Amino acid sequence: MASFLYRKPVGRLFLKLLTRPALSRGVGRFLDTRASRFLIPCFIRGNHLDLSDFRQEDWPSFNAFFVRRLRPGARPVDREPGHLACPCDGLLTVYPIRPDTVMAIKGVRYTVGDLLRDRRLAEAWAGGQCLVFRLTPSHYHRYCYPDSGRKSRNRTVPGILHTVRPYAAEAGPIYRQNSREYTVLRTENFGDMIYMEVGAMLVGRICNYQRGGGRFLRGQEKGRFEFGGSTIILFLRPGAVELRPEIRRASAREQEFPVRLGEALGWRPGSQPESGGAAGQTGPVKISRTGHFKKCNFPL
């Protein structure tokens, strides 16, 4: 179906109708009803889901199942202050941020400025790192804060919702056309970072719990995605975090690295653990220095 939508002229015409926010909202409303429950066993079988990490409940709708909660202890959050906690389950790729860098994610080419629609903010992060976490439908779709600190108000960038399937990446820019939301975090251990959520086709709702500015804690749930594959992006200042070597090696080989919410992605320079990494990791997946706080455009 995705191949038809993105590779055939008739399919692309149909896609323009499918990607209208009104349709996405309509599908979202249906997935909130009891009538959508019949989709749950099909989804479990189709995505080969292992539900052992999750609370077993009588889910009242498909969306209630999709945003199901973990059982206690399933994703312990690294509490070491010098360690950057992973914000979500997903497949991670890391890119350097340079003033003229055009980054490719699943075949999509864009700049940091394209994503943020704020040239001054993009320039302020030049020389840093961009961490892209791709969530598939089978991943846990709640996400958390990677450290404690204070946040700015949320900024929403409206767009046409598109799928994260590779066919879409081949057909044209995805992320520049997707709805997204971001905030600047002033963290206690890693300086300022930008935290962005990107929606995908039929995911009209990025559900963040705290839209205004205020205090947050490491590991605190920040929000959730409702149905569909979606993306989290962290923009880190230069020298803020030294990522684990296996993550850096995977990205250098154009491989996505599987990560889980709460694990340590890296450390503040000078805080490297003696073991030299985090336990419990699988291998990468092949795909086609803390500084002082600087003035931020956002009220914190």
89 given a catalytic annotation: yes
* Contact residues for 241 (Cβ-Cβ < 8 A; gap 6+): 84, 129, 190, 265, 266, 267, 268, 289
Residue whose entry in the numeric block shows the structure tokens 């995908």? 200
- Which residue in 89, 147, 152, 179 is the catalytic one? 89
61 given a catalytic annotation: no
Catalytic residue positions, numbered: 89, 230
